[in-house]
């Protein structure tokens, strides 16, 4: 019967070339490694090595055995990873989102509905999210549009609307609404880790330069002390943060989005969470 650990030793021997170097790399004795090579020849029932004086080398069949063994070891690693991932999925709900704001209400709601599970999240690029839900990398994905898929469900649950905060004497401060094109050319403050919003701003405002801040405290201090425009949304209500600024909604369709929860059809229990959040925040 083939032993995976012995196959690992065979692959290592092919990599290091000699018994002494292989034994040293694997932290085992050379006699132990020699016995493993002998046992592998017995298990395969064919000669795998050319036996020379004080030297052992793979023959053509041995090289093919290494090739097949490497493939088997790779599959074994996948099996272990898949079993661990399945076990984790029984105890963890992983949410991958294209933006941070939808998580502010979703994660507490999931914790309330599933108190026996660990809720975790991360920001992910939009093109990857649907595939990650489908291949069970995550349980829930969040996208700013409905995702069409035969084995996935897409439920709208919250709306985010972008506004810009301007000093009262800014040239655009008197507008009732603003487009990103109108802001193009003005330098702005921008938070890091805001998901697809960052790509939208850079794409729609190519003539602008952005002072990106990773620290929340530093961002707020700059927002208070500088005259640079910065963005806020309806999901982040902080009256003190916008004090002394004129808040003007951005009218671009791309800046006013309805987020959808994406999950596999067998996970219909997540639909209840989406519907509860949708009732709290009309979309």
Structure token digits, residue 50: 């050319």
Note the Cα 269 to chain centre separation in Å: 23
Structure pTM? Answer: 0.70
Which pLDDT score, from 0 to 100, does residue 96 have? 97
Mean pLDDT of 202-208: 96
User: What is the C-alpha separation between 250 and 180, in angstroms, rounded?
Assistant: 7
Which pLDDT score, from 0 to 100, does residue 282 have? 62
Share of the chain above pLDDT 90, in %: 74
Q: How confident is the model at residue 273 (pLDDT cuts 50, 70, 90)?
A: confident
User: What is the C-alpha separation between 228 and 169, in angstroms, rounded?
Assistant: 12
Coil/strand/helix, residue 173: coil
Cβ atoms within 10 Å of 260's Cβ, excluding its own = 21
Phi, psi (deg, nearest 5) at residue 68: -70, -40
Structure token digits, residue 56: 């052992």
Under a CB-based contact definition with an 8 Å cutoff, are residues 73 and 92 in contact? no
Q: How confident is the model at residue 40 (pLDDT cuts 50, 70, 90)?
A: very high
Radius of gyration of the chain (CA): 29
User: What is the C-alpha separation between 63 and 70, in angstroms, rounded?
Assistant: 11
Under a CB-based contact definition with an 8 Å cutoff, are residues 64 and 44 in contact? no
**89-143 tens-digit pLDDT:** 778 899 999 999 999 999 999 999 999 899 999 999 999 999 999 988 899 999 9
Q: What is the mean pLDDT of the chain?
A: 91
Above 80 in pLDDT, residue 280? no
Backbone CA torsion sign across 93, 94, 97, 103: positive
Under a CB-based contact definition with an 8 Å cutoff, are residues 26 and 5 in contact? no
Q: Which residues of 125-144 are buried (b: 16+ CB within 10 A; e: fewer)?
A: ebeebbebbbeebbbbbbbb
Above 90 in pLDDT, residue 84? no
Under a CB-based contact definition with an 8 Å cutoff, are residues 211 and 187 in contact? yes
User: What is the C-alpha separation between 141 and 124, in angstroms, rounded?
Assistant: 9
Q: How confident is the model at residue 276 (pLDDT cuts 50, 70, 90)?
A: confident
**142-179 tens-digit pLDDT:** 999 998 788 899 999 999 999 999 999 999 999 999 99
User: What is the C-alpha separation between 75 and 50, in angstroms, rounded?
Assistant: 28
Length of the chain: 283
Backbone CA torsion sign across 228, 229, 234, 239: positive
């Amino acid at each position: 019967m083939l032993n995976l650990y012995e196959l690992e030793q065979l692959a290592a021997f092919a990599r290091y070339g000699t018994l002494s170097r292989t034994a040293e790399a694997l932290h085992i004795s050379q006699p132990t490694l020699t016995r493993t090579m002998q046992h592998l020849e017995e298990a395969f029932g064919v000669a795998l090595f050319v036996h020379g004086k004080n030297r052992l080398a793979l023959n053509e069949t041995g090289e093919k055995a290494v090739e097949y063994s490497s493939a088997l070891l790779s599959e074994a690693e996948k099996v272990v990873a898949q079993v661990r991932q399945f076990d984790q999925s029984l105890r963890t709900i992983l949410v991958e989102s294209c933006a941070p704001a939808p998580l502010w209400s979703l994660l507490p709601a999931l914790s309330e509905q599933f108190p026996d599970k660990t809720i975790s999240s991360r920001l992910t690029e939009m093109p990857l999210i649907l595939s990650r839900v489908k291949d069970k990398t995550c349980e829930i994905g969040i996208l700013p549009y409905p995702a069409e898929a035969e084995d996935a469900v897409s439920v709208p649950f919250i709306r985010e609307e972008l506004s810009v905060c301007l000093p009262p004497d800014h040239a655009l401060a008197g507008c009732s609404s603003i487009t990103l094109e109108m802001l193009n050319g003005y330098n702005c403050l921008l938070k890091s880790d805001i998901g697809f919003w960052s790509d939208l701003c850079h794409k729609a405002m190519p003539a602008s330069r952005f002072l990106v801040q990773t620290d929340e405290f530093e961002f707020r201090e700059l927002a208070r002390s500088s005259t640079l425009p910065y963005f806020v949304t309806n999901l982040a209500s902080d009256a003190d943060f916008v004090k002394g600024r004129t808040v003007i909604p951005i009218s671009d369709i791309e800046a006013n989005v309805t987020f959808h929860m994406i999950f596999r059809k067998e996970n219909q229990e997540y639909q209840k969470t989406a519907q509860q959040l949708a009732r709290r925040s009309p979309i």
